[in-house]
Structure 1
Amino acid sequence: MLNARKRLVTLVSGSALIAAVGFMPSTPANAEPDIKDVQARVDRLYHEAEQASERYNDAKLELTSLKRDLGLLKADQGRQDDRLEQVRRQVQDSVIRQYEGQNLSAMGQVVLSDDPQKFLSQLSTMSAYNDMQDQLFDDYATELKSLDIRSDATAKRAAQVATLEEKLGAEKATIDKKLAEAKTLLGELQAKERQEILSRGSTTRTPEVSASGRAAAAVSYAMAQVGKAYVYGAAGPNAFDCSGLTMMAWAQAGVSLPHSSSAQYSSGPHVAESDLQPGDLVFYYSPISHVGMYIGNGLIVNAENPSSGVRVTGLHSMPYVGAVRPG
């Protein structure tokens, strides 16, 4: 009986232990984040931030154009205001003269004239006066309609400017949010793991680049920026975003490029990957949201992201779309 009781106690204890083990968490509660998972999330956040940044750059270009148009419309509206005021005064003077009796006086002279020739002449004058009065009213109506058209165009352009400025604010907020999330994720990693993420895909050597013509000036400038910071919307001298770097690099060669990767994709003839030469612009993602500069030997120099800054990396370190040769 005693042995049976011991066996029962042992069986119950073993079952309780098994049950307890079954309910224990499979991993520690404070397990370190998986570096591959963090790397993928950081990459995604940086890409989303850069997409917002390039949309921001596109919107800035559009805003500049809209504001220029708005200025021209306002100037045109001002000139039209002046023309309308001149006609308004002419009409006003005509009406005043009519009610002051000048028209009746002229009519009286025509009726009382004994000279047929003078009568005909004065009648012609009277007719011309009335025609001129009609023309003044027609001119006024025409100028007023022109002013209404210009006023409507100005109001529409001003509304577009306001909408675009609101969009710029939203894109800036998106950039800040994504960047803050990426910084938080990186902050959760140990220093060694964080460095592993930040240094991946880069090359520690500074390659010799052989470029010719105007491309030589562009490549030289871009390579001189290696190690500088990445800041969304920046175009030097101490920090750049991707399109800001390529824009400023080619500016040294006298070639004007827009501050937008998608706009730069339309800035010159497209070239095949097999025909790439140093200085060519290379583009990434669909829709296009990143641009770098080819420097030869399968490498590019680019302003990559806030953690990496301006650096040299492989041509296919990102999803490659195509290339353009400026100039």
Structure 2
Amino acid sequence: MASHRKPRTRVLSSPGSRRTAAGLTTAALASVTLLSQSANAAPRAPKPSIEEVKQKVDDLYHQAETATEKYNAAKEKAGEQQQTVNSLLDAAAKRAEKMNESRRELGTFASAQYRTGGMNPTAQLMLAKDPQQFFDRSHLMERLTGREKQAVTDYQEQAAAAARQRAEATRSLEKLQDSQDSLKESKQSVQSKLSEARQLLSRLTAEEKARLAELEREREAAAKRKAEELARKQAEAERERQRQEEQNQNDGSGDGSSDGSTGGGSTDDGSYATKAEKALAFARAQIGKPYVWGATGPSSYDCSGLTQAAWKAAGVDLPRTTWDQVKVGTRVATSNLQPGDLVFFYDDISHVGMYIGNGKMIHAPKPGAYVREESIYYMPIYGSVRPA
């Protein structure tokens, strides 16, 4: 009679069978784990377009230039503060010597009194831990001779002056430390931005680099067209000015009041044009030299370092940073620009170039580039000044 008992589950008794089963189980678990991780993993971010990379790189270069101007300002401030500290320390040393002379004179009186067996007020002053306590006891001062009183007064004045100078020197040293900290921070910021830009560019393929170069050419072409349009309008304005001047002369109505200025300030009978010509000659001689942040020449420049050096060659002293240079001279409209005028860029006024006419300028562009001529419309214009 057939048995109705449930068949017994077969046990894998052999070592090989157990290993095979374990291997299958592990593989199954691994597959489940991988499937689970794949399902839960965040989708990979899409690769940025070359246009986005270009915008990011341009932004980083702009940020680096802003940090460069902060570096220039901090460096200038630190230099000025160092001079102040040195001057104060020299003055404090001289004051200390005068105080020591007064102390030695007091010592002479104290020694004389000590030898005669007394301890007069002068000796008490020399031995006092706190000279101010001595001065507060006016009845002691009444017992001093005329010369001793003068010696005490001299010492008191020298000691007070020395204390003031030490306090001032301490404050100046603290300001110097702040300037040096700011200088270090700005330098690190510049280096960080430039490093990030280089890394972005280094990851581009050859095809992407070619596309980037094409975008740059398109940008330059657009800026060139705007410069040509400005040059056309300026030429028309000049022809109209000359026509009007000739008509006034022919009509006999000319009163000699025209100064030939195209707006934004007088040329002072050509004196500005003469200075501008010297500044531009210097700037042209620097074409081809590399941009280096924080540099003021003669082998390399940053943007404000170039304009400062160029106008210095014309006998005009400009401040170091773009933020200070924009405050010098007379503001002029873009349509009224004359050669030599300074054109500033971006809302934060972090870049500057020197106008040469026909909508173009000479400037030190950015890291990796060289001093060159370029359309003023290559960057967004903030405003312009006539510096002399």
**Smaller-chain TM-score range?**
0.7 to 0.9
The equivalent residue for 2:211 is 193
What secondary structure sits across from 1:240 in the alignment?
coil
Counterpart of 2:101 (choices 60, 63, 86) is: 86
**Which of 34, 55, 60 in structure 2 is aligned with 1:45?**
60
Does the 8 Å CA contact 2:345/2:381 hold for their aligned counterparts?
Answer: yes
Partner Cα distance (1:63, 1:199) in 2: 41
Q: Which moved more, 1:254-263 or 1:88-97?
A: 254-263
Equivalent of 1:213 in 256, 274, 284: 274
SS at match of 2:88: helix
1:142 aligns with 2:157: yes
Moved more, 50-59 or 68-77: 68-77
Q: Is the 8 A contact 2:291 2:365 kept in 1?
A: yes
> Relative contact order (alpha carbons < 8 A, sep ≥ 6): 1 or 2 greater?
1
Specify the alignment match of 2:308 in structure 1: 247
In structure 2, the CA distance between the partners of 1:185 and 1:199, relative to structure 1 (3 Å rule), is farther
TM-score, length basis structure 1:
0.76
Q: Output the aligned Cα RMSD.
A: 3.0
Alpha-carbon distance in 2 for matches of 1:94, 1:306: 70
TM-score, structure 2 normalization: 0.65
Q: Find the counterpart in structure 1 of residue 331 from structure 2.
A: 270
Label 1:214 to 1:97 Cα distance change in 2 as closer, same or farther (>3 A). same
CA distance in 2, matches of 1:317, 1:262: 20
Is the CA contact 1:291–1:302 (under 8 Å) kept in the aligned structure 2? yes
Take 1:194 and 1:274, find their aligned partners in 2: how far apart are those partners? 32
Tell me the SS of whatever aligns to 1:53.
helix
3-state SS of paired residue (2:295): coil
Q: CA deviation at 1:280?
A: 0.7
* 5+ residue gaps, structure 2: 1-38, 120-141, 232-271
2:324 maps to 1:324: no
Q: CA deviation at 1:308?
A: 3.5
> d(CA) in 1 for partners of 2:86 and 2:367?
36
1:195 offset after TM fit, Å? 2.1
Matched, 1:259 2:320: yes
**CA distance in structure 2 between the aligned counterparts of 1:309 and 1:186, rounded to whole angstroms:** 18
- In 1, distance between residues paired with 2:195 and 2:295? 18
In structure 2, relative to structure 1, the CA distance for the partners of 1:36 and 1:136 (3 Å cut) is: same
1:111-156 Cα shifts (integer Å, max 9, x gaps):
xxxxxxxxxxxxxxxx996132223222212211110110111111
Query: Does the alignment pair 1:157 with 2:172?
Result: yes
Q: Out of 183, 186, 197, which is 2:198 matched to?
A: 183
Runs of 5+ consecutive residues of structure 1 not aligned to the other structure: 1-22, 105-126
Partner amino acid, structure 2, of 1:192: A
**Residue 287 of structure 1 corresponds to which residue in structure 2?**
348
Contact between 2:341 and 2:387, CA under 8 Å: does it hold in 1?
yes
Letter paired with 1:139: D
Tell me by how many angstroms 1:103 deviates.
8.6
